[in-house]
């Protein structure tokens, strides 16, 4: 009986040469490189060989830019912004999705908006240097936007309404506060109701809306399928509202899957509970 070593096929035949990664088809190489971070592509992958550099410079590689976790670059904020601008330039106007967090400025956001008029998805998280004015000046230049997420940037109702009117195709809005607010205010909810009728997904973690604001949204957004109201402590929803949505998250639902750590905040500000019954005026 043959031994295992004699019956198993060798990993590489004697006459077979090792595969040259540089000879892989362009579409396959592109698919592989897209699994790397933006910084890994620009700092390492494109320097491997000429064919890899050619692929890395292809605008199709830069339809989506994800720089959502660059906290390890914090001491080099200017370098991170330069990398982001370079990535945007590589897209040659074809950028469709961009996500960045823990860095950024008004000038960077303007740079992106002026070169990405076809942008469909914008996610801003923990961008403390981006002002409300800078946000507004950029978003009015993005009429094709369908998904917008703003976490950790305080926006007024006026700015939200302007964003909705400037982006008539908006289908998803995530507006998340990173701390508890004890006030009662429906300004943002009314702005959403008046300017975003095509919304299908709405996340308002930590918002101050009451039943008045929520009813305005429900009346004005008939296509809503996903509603997330976690940490909205001015609401205590009762009734059969969940039958209307594919996914409904309520005020006291777990935030363990939240990337910004609401669940770790132990200081609760006083809050007022109101009751919303389905069909209330």
Domain with residue 36: its CATH number is 1.20.1280
- CATH number for the domain spanning 208: value is 3.80.10.10
Q: What is the pLDDT of residue 265?
A: 36
> How confident is the prediction along the chain (281 residues), in pLDDT tens digits per residue?
455 544 544 555 455 566 666 666 777 777 788 888 888 888 888 888 888 888 889 999 999 999 987 655 555 555 889 999 999 999 999 999 999 988 899 999 999 999 999 999 999 998 889 999 999 999 999 999 999 999 888 899 999 999 999 999 999 999 987 655 556 789 999 999 999 999 999 999 889 999 999 999 999 999 999 999 998 988 877 667 778 898 999 888 888 876 554 433 333 333 333 333 333 43
d(CA 99, CA 160): 19
Residue 6 lies in a domain: no
Owning domain of residue 121: 63-276
CA dist 172 → 122, 229, 232 (Å):
10, 14, 18
| pTM of model > 0.85 | no
Q: What are phi and psi of 10, to 5 degrees?
A: -65, 150
Say whether both 92 and 148 belong to one domain: yes
* Centroid of chain to Cα 77: 20
Total domain count for the chain?
2
């Amino acid at each position: 009986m043959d031994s295992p070593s004699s019956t198993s096929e060798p990993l590489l035949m004697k006459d077979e040469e090792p595969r040259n990664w540089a000879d892989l088809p362009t579409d396959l190489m592109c698919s592989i490189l897209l699994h790397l971070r933006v910084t890994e592509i620009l700092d390492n992958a494109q320097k491997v060989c000429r064919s890899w550099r050619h692929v890395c410079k292809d605008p199709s590689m830069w339809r989506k830019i994800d720089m959502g976790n660059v906290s390890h670059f914090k001491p080099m904020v200017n370098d991170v912004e330069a990398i982001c601008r370079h990535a945007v330039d590589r897209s040659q106007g074809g950028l469709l999705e961009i996500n960045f967090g823990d860095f950024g400025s008004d000038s960077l956001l303007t740079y992106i908006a002026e070169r990405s008029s076809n942008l469909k998805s914008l996610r801003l998280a923990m961008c403390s240097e981006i002002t409300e004015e800078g946000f507004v000046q950029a978003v009015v230049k993005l009429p094709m936007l369908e998904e917008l997420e703003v976490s950790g940037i305080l926006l007024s109702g006026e700015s939200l309404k302007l964003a909705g009117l400037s982006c008539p195709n908006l289908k998803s809005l995530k507006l998340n506060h990173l701390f508890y607010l004890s006030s009662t205010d429906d300004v943002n909810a009314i702005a959403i109701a008046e300017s975003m009728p095509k919304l299908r997904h709405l996340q308002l973690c930590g918002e101050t809306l009451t039943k008045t604001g929520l009813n305005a949204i429900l009346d004005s957004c008939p296509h809503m399928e996903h509603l997330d109201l976690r940490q909205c402590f001015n609401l205590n929803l009762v009734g059969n509202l969940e039958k209307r949505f594919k996914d409904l998250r309520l005020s006291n639902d777990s935030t363990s899957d939240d990337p910004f750590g609401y669940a770790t905040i132990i200081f609760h500000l006083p809050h007022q509970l109101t009751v919303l019954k389905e069909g209330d005026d």
